[in-house]
Structure 1
């Protein structure tokens, strides 16, 4: 029996590592194994900023991968948390009755949804802003080089 609350929290807290995918679909889920790749690339982008500064072009391309992965997993936590018990149990607990306990929403589920909405949207906006800011600063710098 797959619990909706556990899946929502795993998606919110461990989603970039694929933990919610492994919980719901097992260790053979290929997307669960692929999720750590953009996470690791984004962490590498953050490390490049620490080593080379914010002018590193590769870092402003890699960091949003981490943000978009976190935001996507937060979105999955919202989807899981807001799924009706009937739909949840039909999808993940096929042998259980439609109104079985693991598919029901409680306050812990709502807490995961609220936190995922807050942090997911914040991280998504920060990733977009960081990318565009670095891109436009790079364009301005290139324009200055051309004009001189």
Structure 2
């Protein structure tokens, strides 16, 4: 039986590593194996900022990958948490009854939804703001080079 609350928390906490995908679809899930790649690239971007400073172009292209991956996994946690018990059990517990306890929404499920909404939105907005700021600063820098 696949538990909806556990899946929501795994998507939020371990989503960038694909843990929720492995829990729901097994170790053969390709997307679960691909999720750590943008996570690792984003962490590498953060490491490059610490090493080379904020003017490193590679780092400001890599860091948003981490933010978008975290935000996407938070969205997935919200979608899992808001799924009706009938739909959850039909999709992930097909041999169980439609009202099986594994698909029920509990307070911990609501907690996963709230935390995912708060932190996922924050990370998404920060990633977008960081990306656009660095992009426009780069454009201004390049325009100055051309004008000289």
User: Would the TM-score normalized by the shorter structure come out above 0.5?
Assistant: yes
Counterpart of 2:54?
54
CA distance in 2 between partners of 1:142 and 1:85 (Å):
54
Distance 2:81 2:106 in 1: 9
How big is the shift at 1:142?
1.1
Query: Counterparts of 1:69-148 in structure 2 under 5 Å?
Result: 69-148=69-148
Structure 2: distance between partners of 1:39 and 1:92:
26
- Residue 16 of structure 1 deviates from its aligned partner by 0.1
Partner residue in 2 for 1:21: 21
- Structure 1 runs (4+) greater than 4 angstroms displaced: none
CA distances 1:60-112 after superposition (whole Å, capped 9, x unpaired): 11000000000000000000000000000000000000000000000000000
The number of equivalent residue pairs is 148
Superposition TM-score, scaled by structure 2 size: 0.99
Give the distance between the partners of 1:31 and 1:140, measured in 2 at CA.
38
TM-score, normalised with respect to structure 1: 0.99
Could you say what the CA RMSD is over the residues aligned between the two structures, in angstroms? 0.5
